[in-house]
Amino acid sequence: MYTEKELLSEAWTRLEASVLKFENEPIGTVAATIDKSAQQFNYGHCFIRDFVPSALAFLTKGKGEIVANFLRQTLKLQISDKNIDEVRAHMDGVRPGIGLMPASFEIVEEEGQQVVRADFGERAIGRVTPVDSCLWWLILLRIYQRATGDEELVQEAGFQRGIRLILNLYMLKQFDMYPTLLVPEGAFMIDRRMGVYERPLEIQALFYAALLAADELLLPKNKQDIHTEIEQRLARLKMHIREHYWLDLEKVNEIHRYENEQFGEEICNKFNIYPESLEAWAIDWVPKEGGYLAGNLGPGRMDFRFFAIGNLMSVICSLADETQSQKIMNLIGKRWIDLVGNMPMKLCFPAIEDKEWELITGCDPKNVSWSYHNGGSWPVLLWFLVAAALKVGRRSIAERGIRIAEKRWCEYKDKDRWPEYYDGRKGNLVGKKAMRYQTWTIAAYIVAKDLMENPQHLEWIAF
């Protein structure tokens, strides 16, 4: 049986052991410190999204060097006019967008020299597109500046140009009428077939936070031609998400009575959502005092599943308004067993099962019900939960989440060994195919504990 102090000490030891070095300089952390038999997978890579909690953890100790090195290295890997032909050679001739950041990178040896090799999805399982990488990179750049006060790095010409390339890519005029980002399946943390294509909430929340960060980080001379457009996009996106993605008991009743095939501007059912598509579980699941943002919305389609990162990030970056943020916390409190259970917390709820699982996932054996992305419990979500709860003054929810994780790990740490995810309706089982010593599981615990002790660090993250 470990004490909380011993658990935290072990977490730091493991996090330090995960550091990835290039030419003797720390530039990131590997996804998991694993044995050689598992190296066929990319857990030896440093992922942009995975590194964010690691970066936060190091910044709490004043170790900003590794974060700065990571930001510089990934900036070099960003697709530009200079390297696009080289990247294109590995992508079946496809011309990726200028400004795109890789999903991950690894250190390999070529002709006796260490080389940083990026993966833009051309080697990933399913060849999924890393839409969220640029968004997390911008958010992390802002975190770094706020934590260290290092404005010189952000103001360097290379970083200013990198920010503009991302904005040019993500604010490109497209065949779309909505302020949200339209993305393919598997373009973010849920990188497998899960019916999350189109306009998933997680991407919209990250997009909103990234736009805020970019507008804050760009020098006035570098945003004169785009500042107004950013402000307009932020305003439209905020209004769109708050109005159309929001689900509470009142909205559920409204959907239940929707009329279809309405034409014109002043109508209720603007997206032609069919009342018959309203999930039976959702009708009874939403408490009177709670609510949440739907997982997805498009023509004739609303995904009623609860997605944790999208909702928690919406609270953290103020995409959700104050009342909605409190109702999201109310929902988590009232549906604690469903969403948190015995390990914080469910990536999505509920799991899809039976025939629906076959059709939506393509019979994915890793995404069986209540496992992995399909209702699995992910300890990395602990830092999101704590940050969101503290932001809106719900410290008791943050304390409860940490207490549950610590109880499990203090008792079973040598058996669990910091797994990637947990299985089961309550998160009782170590994930069937979960990697051990998953770095972002470890880092999330460190960050959650630090936020409780140093709530001023929330200013690095929140908007």
The CA distance from 312 to 231, in Å, is 23
Q: Which residues pair with 21 in a beta bridge?
A: 26
46-47/246-248 β-pairing: unpaired
pLDDT digits (tens, 9 = 90+) for 355-413: 999 999 999 999 999 999 999 999 999 999 999 999 999 999 999 999 999 999 999 88
pLDDT digits (tens, 9 = 90+) for 308-341: 999 999 999 999 999 999 999 999 999 999 999 9
Q: Which residues pair with 117 in a beta bridge?
A: 106
pLDDT band with cut points at 50, 70 and 90 for residue 267:
confident
Cα 429 to the chain's mean position, in Å?
23
Hey, what are 280's tokens? 């039976």
What pTM was computed for the model? 0.96
pLDDT of residue 18: 97
pLDDT at 89 over 80: no
How far does the chain reach from its first CA to its final CA, in angstroms?
A: 39
pLDDT band with cut points at 50, 70 and 90 for residue 36:
low
What type of residue sits at position 382? Answer: L
Asked whether the beta carbons of 193 and 364 are under 8 A apart, the reply is yes
pLDDT band with cut points at 50, 70 and 90 for residue 39:
low
Greatest C-alpha distance within the chain: 68
pLDDT at 96 over 80: no
The CA distance from 65 to 361, in Å, is 41
pLDDT digits (tens, 9 = 90+) for 142-167: 999 999 999 999 999 999 999 999 99
pLDDT band with cut points at 50, 70 and 90 for residue 174:
confident
Q: Which residues pair with 374 in a beta bridge?
A: 371
Asked whether the beta carbons of 422 and 376 are under 8 A apart, the reply is yes
pLDDT band with cut points at 50, 70 and 90 for residue 21:
very high
Q: What is the mean pLDDT of the chain?
A: 94
Asked whether the beta carbons of 331 and 321 are under 8 A apart, the reply is no
pLDDT of residue 37: 44
Asked whether the beta carbons of 440 and 53 are under 8 A apart, the reply is yes
Phi, psi of 85 (to 5 degrees): -65, -35
